[in-house]
Homo-oligomer: A and B are copies of this chain.
Amino acid sequence: MRRSAEFLRQAALDAGFTVAEVWETAGHPAVFAERIEDPLLPTVLVYGHHDVQPVDPVEEWEKAPFEALERDGLLLGRGTADDKGHLVMHLEALRGFLQARGRLPINLKLIAEGEEEDGSEHFQALLVEHRDRLQADVGVISDTGMPAENVPALTVALRGLAYWELRIEAASTDLHSGVYGGTVLNPITVLAQMLAELHDGHGRVAVPGFYDDVQELSAAERREMAAIPFDEAGFAAEGGAVLGGEAGYSTMERRTVRPTMEICGIWGGYQGEGSKTVIPARAAAKLSSRLVPNQDADRVTSLVGAYLRQIAPPGVRVEFLTISTGRWVLTPSRHPAVGAAAEILAEVWGEETRFIREGGSIPPVVAIAEELGVPCVLLGVGLPGDHIHAPNERVVLAQLFRGMQAVGRLWERYGELGKAGLSGPPETGVPAPPT
């Protein structure tokens, strides 16, 4: 992480930022860069992150995860899409703009954090500490995607996240399955039974109260969502996955406006070659829920924890730990900064820009919007097939190149709008379709 931060700091200076600094946090370092042209011009704060997900299972990569592989218009490597690729998009847009015009029509700031994949634990504190230097008129968050290469889109909603670890202990030591088999509670069996009770037979989360605060879409909103081009079969085929989920909702709804309960990891007992005839003392799982308006992560955590403790067999020790939480986001879709971005994407891609909801979570968006009080534009060029968080993560280079063009044009437009034109108060609530 330190090498990554130093690299990015230097790359920012090389691209045309006049100041670039590594900012320490209580965790991994962030990188800040800025180029102030004139205090009277509007200031844009770009957000991205330079940390990435773990690379395991490393044996499934076509090439070493940190050695880029270019083929067929793709660039493969950890972070090419999520999110180093987006940082490169901004650096190259700046370099190109300066080469063509010599100066920017705006003031540009960049904050690249180093803990987004870990739940942005220290990002809020970083914003508070450096509030003055991060002041801006608009935030541009580049860590999202589009439904397809020919469907330019701006994200106007992100799901929140609660990530937990569930630990089951049923014995103080591993036990021999011959001596104890059949006579004591097996923590893996207990864990499996508890996890099986997280969903009902219709794919709905079975935790009482889980859906209480979920905002249902109106019939009109459901129609609008259904009209967004979405290659459902391709979406599943891309991951070799089997479609499934909550009965009564489309795949697009399931991935954007419905909350989820996923098991992200599980372990216990013997995992090696051959056999070990053991009943382990402990088993555990990583659980996560994607949250939607108006769910509250703390309330959901309480509900899930209470449910798990309630369904655990008596005598078994249950630990339920919160690892991280992040709020869902609805951006002010009618704000002029968002409108300008929508127009520019339409120009560059040659298609109408869609306002979409994303299934993922970007907790720092909440922090930037609330702590700095700026409207946020979620401008990203990822695609559903980018394999982010997985082996062989890739970015479609054409998307990256169009993104660089769009960023340059957007700075131009923001310069034309000026501070006054970008000062509309952020609208809250459910975003409406473009007017």
- A: residues with CB less than 8 A from B are 53-54, 57, 60, 117-119, 159, 161, 163, 170-186, 188-189, 191-193, 195-199, 235-236, 239-246, 251, 254-255, 258-260, 262-272, 274-281, 283, 285-286, 288, 290, 313-316, 323-324, 358-361, 384, 387-392
Contacts and interface: CB of A to CB of B under 8 A. Distances in A.
A422 to B, nearest CB: 29
User: Which of A53, A118, A358 neighbours the largest number of chain B CB atoms within 10 Å of its CB?
Assistant: A53
B324 A119 contact: no
Contact of A182 (B60, B254, B285): B254
B279 A264 contact: yes
Given A192-B196, A277-B161, A361-B178, A271 B267 contact: yes
Nearest to A385: B179
A172 B240 contact: yes
A177 B323 contact: no
Nearest to A314: B242
A290 B244 contact: no
A258 B181 CA distance: 10
Contacts of A239: 171-173, 175, 180, 184, 281
A196 B311 CA distance: 13
Interface of A is mostly: loop
Contacts of A313: 242, 244
A346 B350 CA distance: 94
A238 to B, nearest CB: 9
A270 B323 CA distance: 13
23 contacts: A53-B276, A54-B272, A60-B173, A117-B276, A118-B275, A163-B275, A173-B387, A175-B390, A176-B360, A176-B388, A177-B260, A177-B264, A178-B290, A180-B359, A182-B254, A182-B258, A183-B251, A185-B244, A188-B266, A189-B199, A195-B196, A275-B288, A277-B361
A163 B277 contact: yes
B262 A189 contact: yes
A185 B236 CA distance: 10
A195 B184 contact: no
Given A188-B265, A276-B264, A279-B264, A183 B255 contact: yes
Contact of A390 (B173, B251, B324, B387): B173
A263 B176 contact: no
Contacts of A281: 239-240
A113 B360 CA distance: 55
Contacts of A390: 173-176, 278
A297 B104 CA distance: 76
B315 A242 contact: yes
9 closest A-B pairs by CB: A172-B240, A178-B360, A265-B269, A196-B196, A182-B260, A242-B315, A192-B195, A265-B270, A174-B390
A313 B243 CA distance: 11
